[in-house]
Structure 1
């Protein structure tokens, strides 16, 4: 067979359903090999969109999302989405084409050192220089991408290698490599510290919503009664209906989440990455007792220097810790905060209040089922969603907060609608929306149906607000926009521009549960 056929057979052996990407001359053999396979190749409108789709697919399914691009600008356009997957701990495998090896030793058309370019933003990186190495290369790329902590890997596939004839077969896939159970000494120390604390608190991070960790965390929280705050990416690890939930670190009328962690004397950090939220903000005096539970040791940082590190399977650790804490009840030191947080985020706006993201979220929450998925873009609206959108299930509020890249939402909506049976909503600002709005065409071509909510203020609002806070003025942030309702209709989807809060409520109640694509513009 052709080497490109073998690579596709290896993808099939890994269970790949979709490949998101753009065609290119150097990908010709690989594309026709995909055509003969059971894998669906989804042409996107930009390589960044393809990478974001693979990124969100990986976060929602736990299986590596695949993005494909040709050499040169195709590969360089992938990098933002690949880097986002790496910092957000999302399993992703990027495949890029390359010119024939006979011209790579010299300057030639569109030729860049793609492997070197990807090196800083992936877990592993390789050029397939010999067809015989395809089975090992593909298996390694998937194994490392999906191994905790997950992330991105990259394979470069030169066109002359793709055209070679090869006789080989994919390597058998195996069960994922599992971390060991926690060691007893560390577990005993952790249980003693939590039991002795006067104000213990769980900090749920990105790792708490992966694998069965969320279920085990809920069991622990319900048994012990220990309060929980989450990072933006840990939303949904514990249901915001539980009395123990204080939502995120910045939630509440007086930032109750931050207040609680400032008052806490013992923090049980579960799957927490310091890239999500700087521990300097909640441990400024470096005086808190910290128990670190994660698949990897803690980063070395003076404001996050754990007393105990349990480097093991998170789910198994939480299971065993719950057994160790049998009969222990956490002090009721911040029960009053939950009600204040819920009241704050549930408050509907008055009829004459100006439109705001915060005012929209109670109506959006009411229109969505518990298992429906909200994909947030990056901007001032992301902060509001992170702090005020009540989340009841893991992986139902997807926020980019490691790299925090604008433009992820619409491509993310495509991936989410392919990955889950629930309804999908995309929340984005006008800045991030137009970065990858062309992927609406990809969505309509695929016959997908999700809701896009665009918050418009004709400005890069988060940046201008920070400039005003720092200097009293803003510069370089103002924008102009098309008529978004007409823009939506040009793609053949319905566009809405509510004029009152009552219109907002009724419009969301109509379109969110529906099966058709729709765009709702909320003018702030």
Structure 2
């Protein structure tokens, strides 16, 4: 049976094509087959995956890397429930993702049909917009609204969900109701800053002695403006996982290796599109002392969470940063340049020591590689123009500081380990001119390991580096130190390379330093590829040392928790 070009399914595909969607991540099923076939008819590439969670992860990575809408298509019932972790991760990360699903024909609803359930109620709390559309003529209108909501119109950006009974998808829409106003792309309006708040911000920033700028998700797209502000103001700068690469590592403002010191030393902190969440000690005075905050964001959740700003600007970050620099004009900043220079010098010294220690990191007493030695070899091979995905718990702690790239993605504030392989596949398809490397722990790799099949079938040129320490190592460390007993946290030193080869992927198991360089070189030349790096569990990561796995009561890190207790008792 062919699907009519005037069907609701055809209009869905046509709208996506008009909105610039060239790739949809999906897993097939009868309830969505009308959309599936019309996507193909429109020339939209379908990346068919092995699990719906991976489809949504891939859609999110595509959105994060391109700034475009990410689209996932999943079938009914268990297809939809499989997707929930991906939707929740996109929700917490505020990523513009459209998830579409299908359901039973309307005459069979609520009668015990195959895979029948209320998908929309299931995801309402983790989406910006969730609807079941039963009338074919309303499909364009609902999709138009959903996509606008995904990009933050009327509130926060984030995932949206639309569900269609399959007979709705097959239903015909009169040409008179196929309105151009719903099909046409919509420009995103920039939110202009309030001049009074801009004036406040300039006064605070240009009068301060020790200014710290911290960027987040909302600063994406404002890189040049951010650098312009840093250059004029002389402030120091910290990025976060959401904004790696906006400011180059060699910029004189970057002091990432001195994160703890500068957070406690700043007298004014400017957040640009960044929540004050657990990664920033919730902005607590226990850590940030008496600092005043200036907060800029185009969404409320990044503007007023945990700490209010002495100036708060709800507007486009790029527009706002331009306005601040313009209003400051030739005014001389009061920033203590000697303070900033000392921090930068200390950062560079610490970074150089880290680089040297990584390159010479000794293997464990078990003869297995140190994770830092692996990361040093990977960094040397890929240079500094790559896309890097870091994933895991313990290994993420090593990789977060051990790898550097203009573009980096990680599990994000949801801590959604397992994103590595799906993100890497989507990244390698979106950025085919750059090497894409996934650095993942063996535990995290297991969640979506089957997607190596997807990478092979779609020729996604990704390199997957698995740090195989045979354990959920950050929990092993916590159990050993805190409880004196290891329970249910050990894995096998499984041969992940053998598994990847079974799906036709170039894969090697690396166990010695002598094998490192040549294996990485071969893998980069034969992507998609996987390297199973056998590393020692004796290496203790910084997150393990700081008590992250212990989950202290007041703050995520033991040192911050202690500081919080002292501050609250003062």
Flag the 1:229–1:502 CA change in 2: closer, same or farther, 3 A.
Answer: farther
1:310 aligned to 2:313?
A: yes
- Which residue of structure 2 lines up, in the alignment, with residue 364 of structure 1? 378
Pick one of 158, 164, 168 that aligns with 2:165: 158
Structure 2 contact 146–161 (Cα < 8 Å) conserved: yes
- Which residue of structure 2 lines up, in the alignment, with residue 384 of structure 1? 398
Q: How does 1:158-237 map to 2 (within 5 A)?
A: 158-168=165-175, 169=178, 171-208=182-219, 210-211=220-221, 213-237=222-246
Flag the 1:292–1:66 CA change in 2: closer, same or farther, 3 A.
Answer: same
Within 2, Cα distance between the matches of 1:369 and 1:352?
A: 23
- Which residue of structure 1 lines up, in the alignment, with residue 250 of structure 2? 241
Higher helix share: 2
TM-score for both structures, normalised by structure 2 = 0.85
Within 2, Cα distance between the matches of 1:120 and 1:176?
A: 28
Residues 226-282 of structure 1: CA distance to partner in whole angstroms, max 9, x if unpaired? 1111222222221111222122xxxx3xxx212111111110111102346243376
Structure 1 contact 94–155 (Cα < 8 Å) conserved: yes
Pick one of 60, 85, 88 that aligns with 1:83: 88
Pick one of 336, 344, 349 that aligns with 2:359: 349
Within 2, Cα distance between the matches of 1:311 and 1:182?
A: 7
Question: Match of 2:102, SS?
Answer: strand
Q: How does 1:122-521 map to 2 (within 5 A)?
A: 122-147=127-152, 149-168=156-175, 169=178, 171-208=182-219, 210-211=220-221, 213-247=222-256, 252=257, 256-275=258-277, 277-280=279-282, 283-284=285-286, 287-298=290-301, 303-325=306-328, 326=330, 327-328=332-333, 330-331=335-336, 332-333=338-339, 334-347=343-356, 348-350=358-360, 352-354=362-364, 355-391=369-405, 393=406, 396-420=407-431, 421-512=433-524, 514=525, 516-521=527-532
Within 2, Cα distance between the matches of 1:197 and 1:472?
A: 49
Question: Match of 2:466, SS?
Answer: strand
Structure 2: tracts of 5 or more residues without a match: 1-5, 536-570
Flag the 1:486–1:302 CA change in 2: closer, same or farther, 3 A.
Answer: closer
Flag the 1:302–1:141 CA change in 2: closer, same or farther, 3 A.
Answer: closer
Flag the 1:416–1:453 CA change in 2: closer, same or farther, 3 A.
Answer: same
Question: Match of 2:286, SS?
Answer: coil
> How far off is 1:499 after superposition?
3.2
Flag the 1:241–1:483 CA change in 2: closer, same or farther, 3 A.
Answer: same
Within 2, Cα distance between the matches of 1:469 and 1:422?
A: 42
Name the stretch that deviates more: 302-311 or 345-354: 345-354
Flag the 1:503–1:322 CA change in 2: closer, same or farther, 3 A.
Answer: farther
Structure 2 contact 428–461 (Cα < 8 Å) conserved: yes
Structure 2 contact 362–373 (Cα < 8 Å) conserved: no
Within 1, Cα distance between the matches of 2:104 and 2:434?
A: 42
Within 1, Cα distance between the matches of 2:173 and 2:375?
A: 56
- Which residue of structure 1 lines up, in the alignment, with residue 65 of structure 2? 60
Name the stretch that deviates more: 43-52 or 215-224: 215-224
Residues 332-355 of structure 1: CA distance to partner in whole angstroms, max 9, x if unpaired? 312332213321432233274442
Paired residues, number: 511
Q: How does 1:14-93 map to 2 (within 5 A)?
A: 14-93=19-98
TM-score for both structures, normalised by structure 1 = 0.92
> How far off is 1:144 after superposition?
1.5
- Which residue of structure 1 lines up, in the alignment, with residue 102 of structure 2? 97
Structure 1: tracts of 5 or more residues without a match: none
Residues 125-165 of structure 1: CA distance to partner in whole angstroms, max 9, x if unpaired? 11111001111111112122123753100010111111212
Name the stretch that deviates more: 441-450 or 350-359: 350-359
> How far off is 1:455 after superposition?
0.5
Within 2, Cα distance between the matches of 1:343 and 1:336?
A: 11
Question: Match of 1:497, SS?
Answer: strand
> How far off is 1:356 after superposition?
2.8
Question: Match of 1:438, SS?
Answer: helix
Within 2, Cα distance between the matches of 1:337 and 1:185?
A: 37
Structure 1 contact 70–96 (Cα < 8 Å) conserved: yes
Flag the 1:38–1:301 CA change in 2: closer, same or farther, 3 A.
Answer: closer
Within 2, Cα distance between the matches of 1:483 and 1:279?
A: 39
Within 1, Cα distance between the matches of 2:376 and 2:66?
A: 27
Flag the 1:390–1:324 CA change in 2: closer, same or farther, 3 A.
Answer: farther
Within 1, Cα distance between the matches of 2:361 and 2:344?
A: 32
